[in-house]
Chains A and B, each alone.
Chain A
Amino acid sequence: MSQATIPAPRSGYNRSKSGGSKFELAAWLYMRLSGILLVVLIFGHLYVNMIAGEGVQQIDFGFVAGKWASPFWQIWDLLMLWLAMLHGTNGMRTIISDYAEKPATRMWWQIILYASSLTIIVLGTLVIYTFEPCPAGADPSVLASFCTAD
């Protein structure tokens, strides 16, 4: 066991007062509530995709297209996307404030985090809602086989 170097004396406490904000309370509660929902959503998702029916072999473009044709799976996946992304983003925010030592470093990590989360949430939502397996007027050579089967 080697002794770590002694950290430089800290410049005391410089907590910025959050002044009556309930944000941390809400975030704490959200992590637990979304966690409970995610257990159901994620394991339901894994079961339906990998175990039910023909199992993992069944997953292809057509399988996904079939699922998203139903509003049930659209809402399921949308919930999973939003709950998990906000949960994961908030979890990463916690980890960044644990590990980033300089305020500037912390700010940059947070900017990267929030930007990437936003991108994924927006793109994911668009994919779920605008997904069109057989776009009208597309070159038939690039379409899935079931689009041309008439």
Chain B
Amino acid sequence: MTTEIAEPASKVELPSHLSGDAGEIPSFECTIRIARFVPEQDEEPHWEDYQVTMYGTDRVLDALHKIKWEIDGSLSFRRSCAHGICGSDAMRINGRNRLACKTLLKDLDTSKPITVEPIKGLPVEKDLIVDMEPFFQSYREIMPFLITTGNEPTRERLQSQEDRARFDDTTKCILCAACTSSCPVFWTDGQYFGPAAIVNAHRFIFDSRDEGGDLRLEILNDKEGVWRCRTTFNCSEACPRGIEVTKAIAEVKQALFTRAF
């Protein structure tokens, strides 16, 4: 293992008369405390501390990369886009569900170790990787696709701006599971559909072009459906896309009432 010079902030070598101290990015030492678990050798997860020198522009994901690439290659976590779009890297950072790629280190308290754990309520496979299957099973159950009747139109299905705005918020979901795995009701027995499934059902229930709303409402009227929600707002707080998750759930409850009475 070699200790090398940290990557320069810019790949472009500027002549000394152009580069000054002005644009220099501050660097700092921080401790990343990661819940490590290797099923083949560990009985249960344990904390492992890593000291790294990071820069003001770095995110938690960059720290994880640095650890994986320079200190311990066995560290496992998911990430793909690294830009808050694919939803792979939701994890519990300092006790809160966030995307590692959207959490700047400078926004955390770097004087104390930064804890990084897998999201809760789903079985841990290795280190920060959990089995997402129960999460996606709920997602599939609410039928996240357009349901229509009659012949396919020969052109796109038009919709007014107001109709589109009705469900705009819930179209933003990236299926990261930050919400579902922050929900204490989901933690209990994992049978609750969970906020993410309800958000994605909302996206179709309130879409004027869709005709499967009734089916989805019936699914969410289940005893593991929206009625298990206890409005703790953990989901709304956790969502990296800023979706008003609890509000979406309340709207689905309301739609169920309108249908029932």
Contact = CB atoms under 8 A, between A and B. Distances in A.
Interface string A37-72: 000000000000000000000000000000000000
B47 A3 contact: yes
A33 to B, nearest CB: 12
A3 B92 CA distance: 12
Contacts of A17: 222
B138 A20 contact: no
Contacts of A22: 221, 260
A99 B188 contact: yes
Given A8-B123, A24-B227, A13 B191 contact: yes
B144 interface: no
B104 interface: no
B72 interface: no
B123 to A, nearest CB: 4
Interface stretch (B129-137, B202-210, B238-246): B129-137
A12 B191 CA distance: 9
A98 interface: yes
B189 interface: yes
Contact of A15 (B44, B191, B253, B260): B191
Contact of B123 (A10, A24, A99, A101): A10
A57 to B, nearest CB: 41
Nearest to A14: B191
A25 B189 contact: no
B56 interface: no
B134 A13 contact: yes
A101 B224 CA distance: 15
Interface string B116-160: 010000011000000101100110000000000000000000000
Contact of A24 (B35, B190, B218, B223): B223
Interface string B41-59: 0001111000000000000
B197 to A, nearest CB: 11
Contacts of B137: 12-13
A23 B225 CA distance: 12
A7 B44 contact: no
Contacts of A142: none
A92 to B, nearest CB: 14
A18 interface: yes
A1 interface: yes
A9 interface: yes
A6 B222 contact: no
B33 to A, nearest CB: 9
Contacts of A8: 123
Contact of A28 (B44, B123, B222, B227): B227
A1 B256 CA distance: 41
Contacts of A1: 95, 115
- In the A-B complex, the 3 residue pairs with the smallest Cβ-Cβ separation, listed nearest first, are A24-B227, A9-B123, A98-B188
6 contacts: A8-B123, A13-B138, A24-B221, A25-B221, A28-B227, A101-B189
